[in-house]
Amino acid sequence: MSLHVIVGAGATGSATARLLAVAGERVRLVTRRGSGPVHELIERVAADATDTGRLIEVTRGAATVFNCAMPPYDRWPALFPPLAAAVLAAAEHTGADYVMLGNTYGYGPVEEAVTENHPQAPTSVKGRVRAQIWQDAHAAHEAGRVRVTEVRASDFLGAGVYSPFTLMVGAQVLAGSPVSYPGDLDAPHSWTYTGDAARTLIAVARHEQSWGQAWHVPSTSEAPARQLATRLASAANAPDPQLGHMTGSELAEIGRTNSVMAEFPEMLYLYDRPNILDASYTAKVLDITPTPIDQVLAEMAAEHATAA
């Protein structure tokens, strides 16, 4: 029975922990408050993941360390690099394989469907942060200090998810409130289900071809935001969504008092045009089939009904 350390108990980190535990694997789940799902094979540990010494201590004996942590969105430049450096150091010092949960920010704007081999060309502050984290880890891999791979997801969907869609569209649709969306409501867009991201993280950790490269999570849907909102309303038996466009000036005004929304303008290129993630390589090599979108939306609707 192998031991796996997971840093971060957000929706994807928690899903990864549950899948490993159900498969009979031991999990040590690291968060600041010791939170996370309850299971006899999940040990929840309260620790600061930027404390390299403490993280090395809790990672000893682990076959794999999964980095699923994400600092507050409006503090990435200050908080993300030291966190990533600490997890990388823990993997190096303990000999654990290192699997990172990443996203597409490092690619920058791309007109075609983006593959894992697309060069990193970030145009945003957050994109440069993500790209540097991968470059540092990949350099350690190339130097033979640790085995590293990164699983890259698009915008997340699922229960317990905090993403641009769930915050700016999903919550309003489920509440029957008007939606004001800063992107193109009719542009095709790749959406990632957290459960599919978790399955991909585990699959790459178990595959000998995984190391030293990135993998894309197969998308649960490429539907435009308008279509996704309509289908979510149907799944929840909510009123037909009232969808409108948020102008740049309106977004900027909201950002004056909302530090998270203030981070959004530099990422608008992901939402004001088609944004498609090509995950055919992952699907072929790792045999990952995405969860049907209707199942994902039903999960989100059920969570809302339970909370109401």
Check whether 244 has a pLDDT greater than 80: yes
Question: How far is Cα of residue 31 from the mean position of the Cα atoms in its chain?
Answer: 16
User: How do strand 179-181 and strand 148-153 relate by DSSP bridges?
Assistant: unpaired
Burial (CB < 10 A; 0-12, 13-18, 19+), residue 80, is: buried
Where does 28-124 have alpha helices with state H?
52-59, 76-94
Q: Taking a C-beta distance cutoff of 8 angstroms, is the pair 124, 266 a contact? A: yes
Going from N- to C-terminal start, the domains of the chain cover 3-154+194-218+279-285, 157-189+222-276+290-307
**Could you report the per-residue pLDDT of 150-204, keeping only the tens digit for each?**
999 999 999 999 899 999 999 999 999 999 999 999 999 999 999 999 999 999 9
Question: Under DSSP, is residue 253 helix (H, G, I), strand (E, B) or coil?
Answer: helix
Write the Ramachandran bin of 212: left for phi over 0, alpha for psi from -120 to 50, otherwise beta.
left
Check whether 218 has a pLDDT greater than 90: yes
Check whether 1 has a pLDDT greater than 80: no
| Mean pLDDT across 124-139 | 98
Check whether 308 has a pLDDT greater than 80: no
The dihedral sign for the CA sequence 221, 247, 73, 260:
negative
Read off φ and ψ for residue 288, nearest 5 degrees. Answer: -95, 120
Give the pLDDT confidence score for residue 77 in this predicted structure: 96
Burial (CB < 10 A; 0-12, 13-18, 19+), residue 81, is: middle
Check whether 296 has a pLDDT greater than 80: yes
| Mean pLDDT across 223-244 | 97
**For domain 3-154+194-218+279-285, is the CATH number 3.40.50.720?**
yes
Read off φ and ψ for residue 79, nearest 5 degrees. Answer: -100, -30
